Structure 1
Amino acid sequence: MIGELINSIEKIEVPSADRKFGITRILKKYDGIPVYIKDVNGYEVIGNLCNRETIAKSLGISVKDLTRHMLSCMEREKEGKLVINNKLKKEYIEDDPREINNYPIPIYYPKDGGPYITSGVVIVKDKDYGVNASIHRILVKEDHLVIRMVEQRHLHCIYTKNIQDGEVDVAIVIGVHPAVLLAAATSGDITFNELRYASVLMGEPLELIKCDTVDLEVPPGEFIIEGKITKEMEEEGPFVDITGTYDKVRKQPVIKITSLKRKENPIFHALLPGGIEHKVLMGLPQEPRIFKGVRNVVPTVKDVVLTEGGCCWLHAVISIEKRTEGDGKNTILAALASHPSLKHVVVVDDDIDIHNPKDVEYAIATRVQADRDVVIIKGAKGSSLDPSIDEDKTTAKMGIDATISLRKNRDDFIRVEISKDRF
Structure 2
Amino acid sequence: MMKDLRDFLEALSGNEKEYLVSGASVSPDKEITRIVYFLQHRNENPAIRFDKVDGSSMPLVTNLLGSRGRLALALGCEEADLDRTYRTREKNRILPILVGSGSIQEVEVNGAEIDITRLPVVTHNQGDAGPYITAGMMTVKDPDTGIRNTGIYRLMVKDGRHTGIHLAETGHAYMIFRKYIERKQDMPVAITIGAHPALYLGSLSLAPFGVDEFEVMGGLLSQPLELVKCRTVDLEVPANGEICLEGHISWNLRETEGPVGEWQSVYSQQHSYPVLTIDHMSTRKDPIYMDVCSGAAEHLLMGGLPKLSRIFESVRQGCSGVKDVYMPLGGFCRNLCYVSMKKNLEGEPATAAAAVFAADFFVRHVVVVDEDVDIHSDTEVLQALHLNMVPGRCFIMPYAKGDPTDPTSREGVVAKIGIDATRPVGKKLDRINWKEGFDQVDLGKIFPEKECGRMT
Smaller-chain TM-score bracket: over 0.9
Alignment of 1:11-410 (within 5 A): 11-15=19-23, 16-31=25-40, 32-40=45-53, 41-51=56-66, 52-77=68-93, 80-89=94-103, 92-96=106-110, 97-126=113-142, 127-128=144-145, 130-142=147-159, 143-163=161-181, 164-220=183-239, 221-231=241-251, 232-372=253-393, 374-390=394-410, 392-408=411-427, 410=428
Please give the per-residue CA displacement for 1:100-127, whole angstroms capped at 9, x wherever unaligned.
1111011112222221100100100013
Provide the rounded CA distance (Å) in 2 between the counterparts of 1:420 and 1:146.
54
Structure 1 vs Structure 2 CA RMSD = 1.9
- Aligned amino acid, residue 208 of structure 1: L
Provide the rounded CA distance (Å) in 1 between the counterparts of 2:318 and 2:58.
51
Farther-moved stretch of structure 1 (88-97 vs 141-150):
88-97
Instruction: Return the offset for 1:327.
Output: 2.5
Output the TM-score relative to the length of structure 1: 0.94
Counterpart in the other structure of 2:452 = none
Provide the rounded CA distance (Å) in 1 between the counterparts of 2:336 and 2:320.
21
Provide the rounded CA distance (Å) in 2 between the counterparts of 1:333 and 1:90.
45
Provide the rounded CA distance (Å) in 2 between the counterparts of 1:66 and 1:134.
21
Counterpart in the other structure of 2:8 = 5
Instruction: Return the offset for 1:89.
Output: 4.8
8 A Cα contact 2:104 2:244, kept in partner: no
Provide the rounded CA distance (Å) in 2 between the counterparts of 1:413 and 1:147.
54
Can you give the 5+ residue segments of structure 2 that lack an aligned partner in the other structure? 13-17, 441-456
8 A Cα contact 2:164 2:276, kept in partner: yes
Provide the rounded CA distance (Å) in 2 between the counterparts of 1:419 and 1:228.
62
Please give the per-residue CA displacement for 1:159-215, whole angstroms capped at 9, x wherever unaligned.
110232421110010001121111111222111111100101110110011100000
Instruction: Return the offset for 1:421.
Output: 8.4
- CA 1:88/1:414 → structure 2, altered by over 3 Å: closer, same or farther? same
8 A Cα contact 1:36 1:45, kept in partner: yes
Provide the rounded CA distance (Å) in 1 between the counterparts of 2:318 and 2:370.
16
Instruction: Return the offset for 1:91.
Output: 5.4
8 A Cα contact 2:243 2:287, kept in partner: yes
8 A Cα contact 1:129 1:191, kept in partner: no
Provide the rounded CA distance (Å) in 2 between the counterparts of 1:420 and 1:59.
29
- Aligned amino acid, residue 94 of structure 1: E
- CA 1:399/1:415 → structure 2, altered by over 3 Å: closer, same or farther? farther
8 A Cα contact 1:67 1:304, kept in partner: no
Farther-moved stretch of structure 1 (91-100 vs 18-27):
91-100
Instruction: Return the offset for 1:300.
Output: 3.0
Provide the rounded CA distance (Å) in 1 between the counterparts of 2:103 and 2:302.
28
Provide the rounded CA distance (Å) in 2 between the counterparts of 1:371 and 1:266.
58
8 A Cα contact 2:368 2:421, kept in partner: yes
The number of residue pairs the alignment matches comes to: 418
Secondary structure of 2:248's match?
A: strand
- CA 1:403/1:415 → structure 2, altered by over 3 Å: closer, same or farther? farther
Provide the rounded CA distance (Å) in 1 between the counterparts of 2:310 and 2:285.
39
Instruction: Return the offset for 1:248.
Output: 1.0
- Aligned amino acid, residue 216 of structure 2: Y
Secondary structure of 1:155's match?
A: helix
8 A Cα contact 1:234 1:253, kept in partner: yes
Instruction: Return the offset for 1:139.
Output: 0.8
Provide the rounded CA distance (Å) in 2 between the counterparts of 1:420 and 1:11.
29
Please give the per-residue CA displacement for 1:63-93, whole angstroms capped at 9, x wherever unaligned.
222222222223323xx12111222158521
- Aligned amino acid, residue 95 of structure 2: K
8 A Cα contact 2:180 2:186, kept in partner: yes
Please give the per-residue CA displacement for 1:19-59, whole angstroms capped at 9, x wherever unaligned.
11121112212233211112112211111111321121121
Provide the rounded CA distance (Å) in 2 between the counterparts of 1:189 and 1:421.
45
Can you give the 5+ residue segments of structure 1 that lack an aligned partner in the other structure? none
- Aligned amino acid, residue 319 of structure 1: S
- CA 1:265/1:287 → structure 2, altered by over 3 Å: closer, same or farther? same
Instruction: Return the offset for 1:283.
Output: 1.5
8 A Cα contact 1:67 1:303, kept in partner: no
Output the TM-score relative to the length of structure 2: 0.88
Provide the rounded CA distance (Å) in 2 between the counterparts of 1:131 and 1:267.
25
